[in-house]
């Protein structure tokens, strides 16, 4: 296909960007450039200097976990839109996006189902001690590690967004007693779905499984720490498929090593954003009662295809002068006057 005279360069700094979404961008007068990070790395590991070089001529950027900083945006005057292939945006400087007159979006609705599936997978894997059984078999030991049911257990859901509600839906098949704790109560939803809305202390005290689905904010950071764990049953399981900073991994490690909890299923770690916790992450991953995955909850073929396309549609909307769906927009600085931007450094 010949290059359109008004073709806009869109740089993708994530792996697993499918051809159908590239074709969508091409059909909408964009030139997709997939700049995959090195093996074993994500775009969050790329330096700002490397990102500046990759994005020098880009009008759109489809990003994973890279830090979107004010200094980076200032160095990229052609860039109009930053589209996260995901829903968390704690690494995006929202104020800087506004200040620099750009747009930032998230891919709402693309990975809800696969992350909810992943949370259930971790619940089952930890409660049935699948990893411990595998370790024993690898050592030639056919003794059976005694597991516990998820069936008719009490499961506490912290956060009742799309993923939290997906977990609630999946737990119906297990006849679980579901507790939810959310800052925005929804009594009608709870009545319709047979779940109990409780405060966090009640949830921690009564739950056999505590599954985290809250955003990471200053208020939620380390919400599961030593004091929270002290309120939980010694037989309880912690599941975190949301954000690493929700759990103080150092306190979780101490509790697991002391037998204060049954186990944990972890897809996210504090060390993803704080290198000082790398040793803690390695120690957690080494424990037989921990089932760990590398922030992979959203990484199914179908889920990534959905989030790729949602991000690409947001990019096209902005480059066409339109507005993406409201739920996807986290910052829109296009109303900032040219004069006010020009005077800033």
Check if 206 is active-site: no
CA-to-CA separations, 173 to 129, 149, 168, 170, in angstroms, rounded = 20, 13, 10, 6
Cβ distance 208 to 236 under 8 Å? yes
- Chain centroid offset of residue 116 CA: 11
Tokens of 58: 């880009």
What residues form DSSP beta bridges with 177?
154
Check if 213 is active-site: no
Q: Which residue in this structure is represented by tokens 């005290």?
A: 205
What residues form DSSP beta bridges with 331?
104
Catalytic option among 84, 99, 118, 243: 243
- Cα–Cα distance between 240 and 248 in angstroms, integer? 11
- Cα–Cα distance between 18 and 30 in angstroms, integer? 15
SS3 26: helix
Report helix angle 112-127 to 301-319, nearest 10.
Answer: 150
Check if 272 is active-site: yes
Nearest 10 degrees: Cα torsion 324, 329, 331, 334: 10
Catalytic option among 31, 132, 206, 272: 272
- Cα–Cα distance between 309 and 292 in angstroms, integer? 28
Catalytic option among 84, 100, 295, 313: 295
Cβ distance 37 to 15 under 8 Å? yes
- Cα–Cα distance between 331 and 103 in angstroms, integer? 5
Tokens of 294: 């590398």
- Cα–Cα distance between 291 and 266 in angstroms, integer? 6
Q: Which residues are catalytic?
A: 243, 272, 295
């Amino acid at each position: 296909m010949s290059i359109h005279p008004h073709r806009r360069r869109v740089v993708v700094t994530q792996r697993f960007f499918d051809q159908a979404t590239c074709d969508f961008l091409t059909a909408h007068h964009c030139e997709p450039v997939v700049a995959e990070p090195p093996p074993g790395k994500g775009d969050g590991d790329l330096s700002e200097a490397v990102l500046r070089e990759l994005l020098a001529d880009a009008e759109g950027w489809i990003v994973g976990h890279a830090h979107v900083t004010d200094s980076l945006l200032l160095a990229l005057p052609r860039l109009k839109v930053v589209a996260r292939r995901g829903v968390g945006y704690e690494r995006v400087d929202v104020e800087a996006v506004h200040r620099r007159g750009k747009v930032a979006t998230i891919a709402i609705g693309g990975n809800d189902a696969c992350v909810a599936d992943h949370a259930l997978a971790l619940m089952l894997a930890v409660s049935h001690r699948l990893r411990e059984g595998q370790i024993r078999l690898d050592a030639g030991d056919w003794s059976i590690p005694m597991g516990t049911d998820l069936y008719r257990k009490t499961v506490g859901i912290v956060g009742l967004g799309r993923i939290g509600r997906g977990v609630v839906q999946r737990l119906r098949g297990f006849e679980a007693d579901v507790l939810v704790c959310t800052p925005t109560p929804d009594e009608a939803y709870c009545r319709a779905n047979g779940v109990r809305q409780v405060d966090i202390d009640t949830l921690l005290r009564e739950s056999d499984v505590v599954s985290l689905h809250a955003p990471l904010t200053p208020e939620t950071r380390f919400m599961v720490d030593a004091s929270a764990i002290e309120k939980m049953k010694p037989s309880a399981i912690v599941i975190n498929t949301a954000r690493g900073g929700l759990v103080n991994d150092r306190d979780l490690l101490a509790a697991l090593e002391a037998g204060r909890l049954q186990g944990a299923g972890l897809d996210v770690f504090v060390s993803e954003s704080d290198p000082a916790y790398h040793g803690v992450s390695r120690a957690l991953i080494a424990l037989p009662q921990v089932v760990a995955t590398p922030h992979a909850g959203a990484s199914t073929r179908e889920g990534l295809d959905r989030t790729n396309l949602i991000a690409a549609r947001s990019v096209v909307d902005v480059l066409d002068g339109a507005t993406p769906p409201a739920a996807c927009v986290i910052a829109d600085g296009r109303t900032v006057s040219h004069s006010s931007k020009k005077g800033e450094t």
